[in-house]
Amino acid sequence: MERIKNLFGASILLAGLLAMTGCQTQPAIKQWRTVLDATHTNGWTMVGPGQLKWEKGELVTHGGMGLLVYEREKFGDCQIRVVFKLTATNDNSGVFIRMANFPKDPWDAVNHGYEVQIENEGDDWHRTGCLYSFTKAKNIVNAKLDDWSTMLITLKGKRTVVEVDGRIVTDYTEGDPVPERAIWYEGERGERVERGYIGLQNHGHGAEVHFKEVSVAPID
């Protein structure tokens, strides 16, 4: 009987340790929902000059400065996965998030949302994975050249975390200190909304970036 008690006690202790480490159950599988891939751009609307057009199953930025905006819904408390590719060292684009209203023009998006920058040649405040001019890169991560990179943007309440190819570049919470606006084309300062529209930027001539997927998964 004493041995049974000891075994029972050990099993309870083991269960407690597993619960503490999170090993008692299989990890939850993210339910990714694709909102853009090589089959469609349904629900996306172009704002401003230039265009993003399909070329051999890849959505490529041309001209600009413009913005392709997903108009069907706003996003918050979720992860946004963007798969993109650079083909030149000076390619430039961005993923816009936290836009409270559907933008009237690209500068409306700049001033009332955040641009998650895609551009390897900027300084620590204006490069791939930063909230353009708002946050300094925690890690310098260059997007791949002639190969696909994955940007993972986590929106949780007032917090925004950006990972590029598995490394955290940005971890920012509304109210954290930011530098003063240095020049007119940096976004107006002020907090952004918890739920907002998202978009893909076409920056301008000679700054072509390729996209093949934008997917969204809810988080608790």
pLDDT tens digits, residue range 44-84?
A: 999 999 999 999 999 999 999 999 999 999 999 999 999 99
Highest mean pLDDT among 13-17, 112-116, 203-207: 112-116
Helices (H), the chain: 2-21, 106-112
**Site of tokens 């791949």:** 144
Give Cα separations from 75 to 50, 100, 128 (angstroms). 25, 10, 21
Strand 148-156, strand 159-164: pairing: antiparallel
The reported pTM is 0.87
Going along the chain from its start, the domains and CATH numbers come out as 31-218 (2.60.120.560)
User: Count of residues for the chain?
Assistant: 220
Q: Do 163 and 178 contact (CB within 8 A), yes or no?
A: no
Residue 23 reports pLDDT greater than 50: no
Beta strands in 38-147 (DSSP E): 44-47, 51-55, 58-62, 66-75, 78-86, 93-99, 114-118
